[in-house]
Structure 1
Amino acid sequence: MELVANEELFRAGTTIRAAHLLLRGSIKRSSAVTGQAPTIIELIESPQLLGPGELFAGTRHTSTATAISPCLLLAIDSQRLRQVVRQDSELSWRLLGDLARRQCALEDDASGHRTGLTGTQRTLDYLLELAGDPGGLAGETTVLLKAAKKTIAAHMGMTPESFSRSLRELSDNGVIVVDGRHVHIQRAALLDTATGDSTRRLSFSRKPRGERASPARSLAPGALINACGRLRMLSQRMAIAWGLLASDIAPSQARVRLRQLEGEFERILARLSAADLPPALSGHLQGVADLWPAYRATVIEAVADPADAPQLLAMSEDILAATDRLTGQAEQAARTPAGRTVNIAGRNRMLSQRIGKFFLFAHWSGGDAAIRPHIEACAQEFEDNLEQLRQSGRKQPELAAQLQEVASQWQKFHHALAPNLSRPGRAAHVRTVMAEGDRLLRHVDTTVKLYERLVK
């Protein structure tokens, strides 16, 4: 049987006539007390049996099941299923195991509320439960949020705003990358690298009672280098988004991304401006701030016209140079060798996007012959930097594993840059390169965060 989104499968109080196995889609089970809003008991993702507890414990449904997305289900006569379960010990054992796992999950949810786990910790636990098998030490696991954020938040006893803040905190800590409904869990960033214990998972504890958060006037050295270096990368990402608009390739997505990048760039500028920075660093920050309005006007506000590509390319290089000087000064201010590795990792984060920018702008800037030397120089620097990082990260298992993931993804990205007869047309080639570049960026960004945690 099939359900459309928001269609009810069964309602609390109705007679149980069938067991339902969800084959595709997602369903929420909820219960309601008169005069109160419904409480979401469970979010069910395919493939899974719906409500086995109430199926075998009584004759009437105690919850209401509603499709979140289009669903495909298999309906099995409940009386017949009960007869088979009595006769088939293997099936009985599997159903018992399923009931036990779901009972444990419900108890974990309940204990999370009782012991006061933070919303961020509950959100992380929920994402890891969706991910299932954690996989290797490094790399990423991608989960799809099939339900709306407000539905997921209600399931965890949170407001939608709290859920969004939790996702932001996880993102700021490098644990996840949110891309629409897709959440990319960065496995190496799950480990507590900062304490030197690479066997313990990162946790987000509640602050002691009475401790009040205050606006940070200073940034830790690693965080400062990372923030400055992030401006480098964002300047190149904005140029890429502009290039996609000018090429009329996924223009709606490019516009959304441009606004997101603009917001992040300005948030970092504001955060750095509010911090207590040494005079030399403040001077370089002012240099970036002076270039930003004109760059913003060209890349964000003006119509993306291919005729303006040479000017935009030059402006992107100017603001890149300014943000690079800022990051270099932040590294000097850190006065620690570990700060150097954060900067190098951040350079590779930027280079992954600068190469993509040059690839995209070759169409308007003298063709492949004119742009190829720039791409080759960036590629050589990326590989040299990667080798330095691999030498410095050998003693940290999660770093070594993550750098191996970076090396593997770098080869895929580098290979995608070359023309391929299986990708006829420029648009298809651009989409392939951009997709591989995005994956490389996520891997390198996680590496930067791991090195940031090591700066004392």
Structure 2
Amino acid sequence: MHTSFDDLSLVLGEIALFRGLSPVVVGEVARASQVLSLPKGRVVYAAGDRPRGIYHVMSGHLKTAVSSPDGGEKVIEILSPRQAFGVAELFADAACVSTVETVTPVVLLAVGREGIFRAMEQEPEVARRMLSAMAERQSSIERDIAADCFQSGTAKVVDYLARLAAESGHGAGRIELELEIPKHVLAARLGFTPETLSRIFRELSDAGMIHVHGKQVTLLEAFSRQHLPCPAPRRGAAAALRRTGQPAGNWFERAAGSDEGRMVAWG
């Protein structure tokens, strides 16, 4: 997808990693950037690939997964809008361990490694932000590992729904959410089968906690009273469940105008 230099600079200025940097530094990054519009099921990079750059999710969802020799798959992360990925892989200078694949149609901003390295040479703040992004992801992974070790399946689902509701700024009453990723992907992320996820949803529904109808998930007042004691300030869109109707800026509408893009290799 072709995006003008000015539009790329505008997009970069809205991303936390590059916000507030000098026009010269942003220009270096913009010259190494491209917008990719990808369909569901497209692999961004696979285990064994060499890292080529970092990626920022503009819309849609992706999964990060690792595979066993016998073909088993473990989903270790769901990537959502405004998240970046590929940072640690870029600086490790080694083959990627995981595979990142789209689970919905996705629009990404891809920044080539040379552009990142040139920006770091010109502005040390870029390196500090990259380290901060890696530290935040490490902390998130450690929290997820702790949950996998110590929480039951039902507790994982409850905690997941409670965190999503809090992140979207809702902490009381009925909360209407929409499931934006396939249920089998959500189940894999939480560490069990789709059948187990369906059973847990059914048990929570029978207990008067939630109501599930297709992609629609309603957190009922009983759920809010028990698991959402205080309203939380709005911090952004939920990871895999989010409320619908978010507006998009003009540059985003132009960038997302194509239904399908193609991966372009950096030189």
Which TM-score band applies after superposition, normalised by the shorter structure? 0.5 to 0.7
SS at match of 1:191: helix
Does residue 149 of structure 1 match 2:183? Answer: yes
Note the alpha carbon deviations across 1:365-406, whole angstroms, 9 max, x for none: xxxxxxxxxxxxxxxxxxxxxxxxxxxxxxxx98xx9xxxxx
Q: Look up the match of 2:51.
A: 16
Alpha carbons of 1:136 and 1:85: their partners in 2 closer, same or farther (altered >3 Å)? same
Q: TM-score, normalised by structure 2?
A: 0.64
2:212 to 164, 178, 189: 178
1:73 to 108, 117, 120: 108
Instruction: Give the Cα separation in 1 of the matches to 2:210 and 2:120.
Output: 41
Q: Which has the higher helix share?
A: 1
Q: Look up the match of 1:118.
A: 152
Q: Which has the higher strand share?
A: 2
Instruction: Give the Cα separation in 1 of the matches to 2:176 and 2:128.
Output: 31
Q: How much has 1:4 moved relative to structure 2?
A: 0.9
Q: TM-score, normalised by structure 1?
A: 0.39
SS at match of 1:22: strand
Aligned-pair identity (%): 32
Alpha carbons of 1:105 and 1:131: their partners in 2 closer, same or farther (altered >3 Å)? farther
Partner amino acid for 2:85? L
SS at match of 2:79: strand
**Residue pair 1:109, 1:156 contacting (<8 A) in 2 also:** no
Structure 1 segment 261-272 matched on structure 2, within 5 A: none
Does residue 48 of structure 1 match 2:61? Answer: no
Instruction: Give the Cα separation in 1 of the matches to 2:165 and 2:127.
Output: 26
Does residue 108 of structure 1 match 2:143? Answer: yes
**Residue pair 1:29, 1:65 contacting (<8 A) in 2 also:** yes
1:83 to 108, 118, 121: 118
Partner amino acid for 1:145? L
Q: What is the aligned residue count?
A: 196
Partner amino acid for 2:84? L
Partner amino acid for 1:32? S
**Residue pair 2:51, 2:86 contacting (<8 A) in 1 also:** no
- Runs of 5+ consecutive residues of structure 1 not aligned to the other structure: 193-200, 203-396, 402-456
Instruction: Give the Cα separation in 2 of the matches to 1:120 and 1:164.
Output: 11
Note the alpha carbon deviations across 1:61-106, whole angstroms, 9 max, x for none: 2211111111111111112213324554554444444333332322
Note the alpha carbon deviations across 1:170-209, whole angstroms, 9 max, x for none: 32333333232132334663333xxxxxxxx38xxxxxxx
Instruction: Give the Cα separation in 1 of the matches to 2:199 and 2:166.
Output: 23
Q: How much has 1:13 moved relative to structure 2?
A: 0.9
Note the alpha carbon deviations across 1:245-298, whole angstroms, 9 max, x for none: xxxxxxxxxxxxxxxxxxxxxxxxxxxxxxxxxxxxxxxxxxxxxxxxxxxxxx
- Give the aligned CA root-mean-square deviation in angstroms: 2.7
**Residue pair 1:136, 1:187 contacting (<8 A) in 2 also:** no
Instruction: Give the Cα separation in 2 of the matches to 1:131 and 1:94.
Output: 28
Instruction: Give the Cα separation in 2 of the matches to 1:17 and 1:81.
Output: 11
Question: Which stretch has the larger CA shift, 47-56 or 79-88?
Answer: 79-88
Q: How much has 1:5 moved relative to structure 2?
A: 0.9
Alpha carbons of 1:89 and 1:160: their partners in 2 closer, same or farther (altered >3 Å)? same
Does residue 6 of structure 1 match 2:19? Answer: no
Which is greater in Rg? Answer: 1
Q: How much has 1:152 moved relative to structure 2?
A: 1.2
Alpha carbons of 1:132 and 1:19: their partners in 2 closer, same or farther (altered >3 Å)? farther
- Runs of 5+ consecutive residues of structure 2 not aligned to the other structure: 1-35, 232-267
Alpha carbons of 1:30 and 1:141: their partners in 2 closer, same or farther (altered >3 Å)? same
1:26 to 61, 67, 89: 61
**Residue pair 2:47, 2:95 contacting (<8 A) in 1 also:** yes
Instruction: Give the Cα separation in 1 of the matches to 2:93 and 2:163.
Output: 28
Q: Look up the match of 2:253.
A: none
